[in-house]
């Protein structure tokens, strides 16, 4: 079955394709749809609100099964003003590019002693038709806790600037330096894979 991924982030598209590898699903880039697609509004205060907004908006335009995801970044032990939530890329009303975002969180980590304990709260919404919408934001699709640190890894991935600052707590290694690719996929994307299997009754 073909599912359109309602995202304009190429790194997210690539990651989801890897996550569902081996399942009877074909993830289609929304940019490959032969229509003028208007980008969906994201005005929610929680990831699930934004995921639903995006999925519904794209379905109304495309009229084909489409899903969207959203996430919020949360830190332990920081002041409310330093808690990014769904506005991880927006600071003082400005949308940050990758370099600006990386620099901002390096400075924030420095403010709190060089590292922040973080996790991503993720949400997904799948709209199959005008009557069927399935959404989820449970802990199985949240990230594990990890550190955002002041010192950046030299590697860069477009669309995921904080990956350069992200360190696994148990090993103390940057995720970029963990050799077990399947481990990284399981920790970051396994919950999304399970979502599709359960919500669409896929045989694996």
The pLDDT tens digits of the residues spanning 12-64 come to: 899 899 999 999 999 999 999 988 889 888 889 999 999 999 999 999 999 99
Report pTM.
0.83
Q: What's the rounded Cα separation, in Å, for the pair 184 and 76?
A: 23
Sort 110 into a burial class: Cβ within 10 Å, 0-12 / 13-18 / 19+. middle
For the stretch 120-137, pLDDT in tens is 999 999 999 999 999 999
pLDDT band at 115 (very low <50, low <70, confident <90, very high): very high
Find out whether 160 and 154 touch, Cβ atoms under 8 Å: no
What the chain holds in terms of domains, given with CATH numbers, is: 2-199 (3.90.950.10)
pLDDT band at 185 (very low <50, low <70, confident <90, very high): low
3-state secondary structure of 124: strand
3-state secondary structure of 168: strand
pLDDT surpasses 80 at 141: yes
């Amino acid at each position: 079955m073909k599912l359109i991924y309602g995202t304009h982030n190429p790194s997210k598209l690539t990651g989801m394709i890897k996550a569902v590898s081996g399942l009877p699903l074909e993830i289609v880039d929304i940019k490959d749809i032969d229509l003028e697609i208007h980008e969906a509004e994201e005005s929610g205060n929680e990831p699930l609100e934004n995921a639903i907004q995006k999925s519904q908006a794209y379905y109304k335009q495309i009229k084909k099964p489409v899903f969207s995801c959203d996430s919020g970044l949360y830190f332990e032990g920081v002041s409310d003003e330093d808690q990014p939530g769904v506005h991880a890329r927006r600071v003082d009303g400005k949308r940050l590019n990758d370099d600006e975002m990386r620099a901002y969180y390096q400075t924030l980590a420095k403010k709190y002693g060089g590292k922040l304990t973080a996790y991503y709260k993720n949400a997904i919404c799948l709209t199959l038709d005008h009557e069927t919408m399935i959404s989820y934001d449970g802990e199985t699709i949240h990230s594990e806790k990890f550190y955002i640190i002041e010192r950046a890894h030299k590697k860069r991935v477009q669309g995921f600037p904080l990956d350069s600052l992200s360190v696994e707590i148990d090993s103390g290694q940057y995720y970029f330096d963990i050799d077990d690719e399947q481990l990284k996929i399981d920790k970051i994307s396994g919950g999304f894979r399970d979502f599709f299997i359960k919500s669409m009754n896929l045989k694996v």
